[in-house]
Amino acid sequence: MTPAVLLAGLLSSGAAAVPAQTPAPPLPPAAAVQSDRPPDFARMRDMQAETDARWRQASEGVMRMEKITYRSPAGDLDIPAFVFQPLAPQEPHARAAIVWVHENIRGHLYEHYIPYVREAVAKGYVVIAPEYRGSIGYGKALYEGIDYGGTEVDDVVGAIGVLQSRYPVVDPQRIGIIGWSHGGMIALLAIFRNQRAFRAAVAMVPVTNLFQRLAWKGIEPQRHAIDPMNRFGGPPSEKREVYKERSPLFQVDKLQIPLYVAVARNDEDVNIEEDMQLVDALRSRKPGLAETTIYDNPPGGHLFDRRVDPVTFEPENTREQRDSWARVWTFLDWNLEPSRAVPAHPAPASPHH
């Protein structure tokens, strides 16, 4: 079964069962496999339980995993979230944290993030991954709460309050955010609307300009994909300010923290013509805060940095993938300083010093 068929089944009532022991490979953008049949929420929950089980298995002996919920700052939904922590205990405010934002309009925390979340935790980070409104696997209310570029951003920013109130080990001054594709757009909007909430941000192959995206990919198909509940209130010609406010490109002047953005020329989802507008704007107007990388033809295009073996979850390990993660970790480590974490009970100093 191909990834597209698998996701189409999730969004319809006729999904075939997938064996629990078969990991799901990285999925394509949900917009590519929209179905007019009613969503099968029971099947989505079953598959989410399988995903949760794989994450728990991947965490054993490596990191502490919790599945929590918290109230969105928007006030109308409880947001599920994964939280991963190093096994070693720490003093209060000892650890840096990353808010990890998954891709896809209809997505969740995919298993292809396993090796990278493990790496983050091994470096000393606490990772929280919100399953923001619109995500699959959590029932009708969350699914139909989809608000593209709107209150879904509040859902993600709300993770900061969770880290501060429930995880005293986290230093509130060292919280970063990273997102991919649609999640990259959310990460950008989060830092533009909350200019001092995060210490640093990473946006990988992010959605950038909704005007261009709809014009290139088809206004009505894209509106159906991103705004099925008509929260925008109409097409771009009627609701220009709404689309502008939800397009990161037009918010660049609000950037106040270090930002890293990477894009790919062979990206068939977020086309390079869309992403280069953001890259050029950052390079010209925020050169002191923004770093950018353009990959010419990375294997996998839009998914180049997240492709893993669907059984072992080992990274594909292409040159571009290795380079990408090296740049991401260097940027985050420099700005968030995870190495500042110290043991909760450090060994006493030698009497000879």
Question: Does 289 fall in a domain?
Answer: yes
pLDDT of residue 283: 98
Amino acid at position 344, single letter? A
Question: Does 343 fall in a domain?
Answer: no
Q: CB-based burial of residue 34 (10 Å sphere; 0-12 exposed, 13-18 middle, 19+ buried)? A: middle
Domain that holds residue 329: 37-209+247-338
Q: Who contacts 37 (Cβ-Cβ below 8 Å, separation ≥6)?
A: 11, 12, 13, 14
Question: Does 19 fall in a domain?
Answer: no
Q: Which of 112, 55, 69, 62 is nearest to 86 (CA)?
A: 62
- For residue 327, give the CATH number of its domain: 3.40.50.1820
Instruction: Quote the number of domains for the chain.
Output: 1
Q: What is the pLDDT of residues 19-29, one digit of tens each?
A: 333 344 444 33
Question: Does 352 fall in a domain?
Answer: no
Helix (H) or strand (E) holding 162: helix 151-166
Helix (H) or strand (E) holding 275: helix 272-285
Helix (H) or strand (E) holding 187: helix 182-193
Q: What is the pLDDT of residues 210-227, one digit of tens each?
A: 999 999 999 999 999 999
Confidence class of residue 35 from pLDDT cuts 50, 70 and 90?
low
Q: What is the pLDDT of residues 184-212, one digit of tens each?
A: 999 999 999 999 999 999 999 999 999 99
Confidence class of residue 229 from pLDDT cuts 50, 70 and 90?
very high
Question: Does 216 fall in a domain?
Answer: no
